[in-house]
Amino acid sequence: MREIEERYRREARDGRLMLQQCTDCRHVQAFPRAFCSRCGGREVAWKQASGRGTVAAITTLHRAPTADYRDKVPYVIALVDLAEGVQVMGHAAPDLAIHDPVSAGFALHGERHLLFFDHADRRSA
């Protein structure tokens, strides 16, 4: 499990949002695990997400979940439907609204690279 998390973080550091796809049933999952969440298969392959998606839900947090987020509040969290058909949650630009097309990137917070969504037309790559 640790290995899987480390791989995900390493890719994030290089700006790549990774998904996993089951080699048996082709199910795509956003939360990295050692097995397929649909069929339980142990063969899951990494797959780079396009980063394209649409905002499904959005909320502004006014209280930090942990001390190291205290300097970030208030901040916006969006639930995004990725083009690959899975939902992921990430930080988001404050002026996004539901149904807006977005593209994924990463924002550095301390030593962590947080998934960050911005307007699709604001990010060129």
Which residue in 22, 30, 86, 92 binds Zn ion (CB under 5 A)? Answer: 22
Spatial separation of the C-alpha atoms in residues 37 and 47, rounded to whole Å: 16
Convert residues 38-67 into a mask of x (bound to Zn ion by CB under 5 A) and - (unbound): xx-x--------------------------
Residue with the two structure tokens 């205290």:
70
Instruction: Tell me: does residue 34 bind Zn ion (CB under 5 A).
Output: no
Instruction: Tell me: does residue 36 bind Zn ion (CB under 5 A).
Output: yes
Residue 97 C-beta-side C-alpha neighbours within 13 Å: 0
Least distance in angstroms from the C-beta of 28 to Zn ion: 10
18: which 2 tokens? 């990774």
Which CB sits closer to Zn ion, 10 or 26?
Answer: 26
Instruction: Tell me: does residue 108 bind Zn ion (CB under 5 A).
Output: no
Q: What is the edge-to-edge ordering of all strands in the sheet holding 18-22?
A: 28-29, 18-22, 44-48
Least distance in angstroms from the C-beta of 42 to Zn ion: 9
Omega before residue 101 within 30° of 0, cis: no
Residues that bind Zn ion (CB under 5 A): 22, 24-25, 27, 36, 38-39, 41
